[in-house]
Amino acid sequence: MADKTYRIQMTLNHERRTFFVTQGETLLQLLREQARLTGTKKGCDLGECGACTVIMDGRAVNSCCVFALCADGSTVETIEGIGTPEHLHPLQQAFIDVGAIQCGFCTPGMIMAAKALLDSNPHPTGEEIQAAMSGNLCRCTGYTKIEQAIAVAAKVIDAYANGKETRT
């Protein structure tokens, strides 16, 4: 039964990691089943809901649509890699503070898609936020507070960057 496996290497959440993957294995399967990083969610396995969004080489991707083999040599960031309960990423903090989290199932994907946006465009307009987040579905919040959280986080990150505030 053993399918042929291939050795791949990637930088996963700032650590150099080696995995053995099969041809059809997706990055989502690798993350959830091999790396045990279950923060990345499976909501459709079809590339339509965005719950499995991770950042690969600086771009937001649906990890269910990326073959694990294609991640060889790449840098991958998941929700577990961007903040801890003690040191939350400003996006995580803003999602909590403004009430952008309800059932929370879409939250990791939302935050990763938003991080990819803010990493490349620190001052997005409302329309740019809406366009960047259009691949991430949420059925609980109506998106109002999610959009608000991203706008708040952008301001906080900007303040850090300009030295107006320092992290404690």
Partner 1 sequence: MEERNFAVINHETPRLESIDKATGSGKYTDDLSVPNMAYAVLVRSPYSHAKVLSINMSEAERVPGYLGCALPKDSPQVYFNCSGNPPSPLLMADERVLTDEPLVLGDRVAVVAAETETAARAAAEAVKVEYEIIAPVLDVKAALAPNTPALQPHIALDNIIQRRDVAQGNIAAGEVASDNIMGDRFVTPAMQHTTIELTCCVADFSDGEHITIYSCSQTVFQERRILAEIFGLKESNVRIIKPLVGAGFGARQQLHAQHVAALISRRIGRPVKLLYTREEDFYSVMRHASDVDLRIGVDKSGKLQLFDTTFRLNAGPYTTHTPTVVAAAARKLQYNVPNYSFVGLSVFTNHITGGAFRGYGNTQLTFGREILMDRLAQKLGMDPVEFRLMNHVQVGQCFPCASIPVSSNGIEDCARRCQQLQREIDRREPLIDDDEIRQAWGISFSCHGSGPSSKEGLSSAVIMVNDDATVQLLVGSSDIGQGSETMESQIAAESLGISLEDVHIKAADTGLTPYDTGTFGSSQTFICGNAVVRACDDLKRKILTQLRVIYPDAEVEQLGKRYLVEANGEKTEMTFSQAIHKIMFDPHGCVPIGAGTYKAAACPNPFSVCFVKAEYYKKLNALRLLDVIEVVDVGTPINRMTVAGQLEGGIAQGVGYALYERMEINPRSHRTLSTDFLHYRIPQMGDMPRTHVDMVSSYDPYGPHGAKSVGELATVPVAPAIVNAARRASGMEINSLPLCDTFVILPAKRGGVK
Binding site for partner 1 (CB under 8 A): 1, 24, 32, 37-46, 48-49, 51, 78-80, 83-85, 88, 92-93, 95-97, 99, 101-108, 111, 125-127, 129-131, 133-134, 136-148, 151
Using the minimum distance from each CB to partner 1, give the nearer residue, 48 or 73.
48
**Closer Cβ to partner 1, 73 or 104, answer by number:** 104
For 88: left if phi > 0, alpha if psi spans -120 to 50, otherwise beta; the answer is beta
- Please identify, using beta-carbon distances, which residue of 80 and 119 lies nearer to partner 1: 80
What are phi and psi for residue 38, nearest 5 degrees? -85, 5
Least Å distance between CB 67 and partner 1? 14
∠ CA 135-58-30 to the nearest 5 degrees?
Answer: 75
Q: What tokens were used for 33?
A: 């089943």
Nearest to 98 by CA among 143, 145, 131, 135: 145
**Which pairs with CB-CB distance under 8 Å and at least 24 residues apart come from 42-46?**
43/105, 43/106, 43/109, 43/137
To the nearest whole angstrom, how small is the minimum distance from the Cβ of residue 148 to partner 1?
A: 5
Nearer to partner 1, 46 or 163 (CB): 46
Least distance between partner 1 and beta carbon 165 (Å): 20
Query: Is the Cβ of residue 17 or residue 42 nearer to partner 1 in the bound state?
Result: 42
| Other beta carbons less than 10 A from residue 31's beta carbon | 26
Question: CB of 163: closest distance to partner 1 in angstroms?
Answer: 25
Q: How far is the CB of 3 from partner 1 (least distance, A)?
A: 9
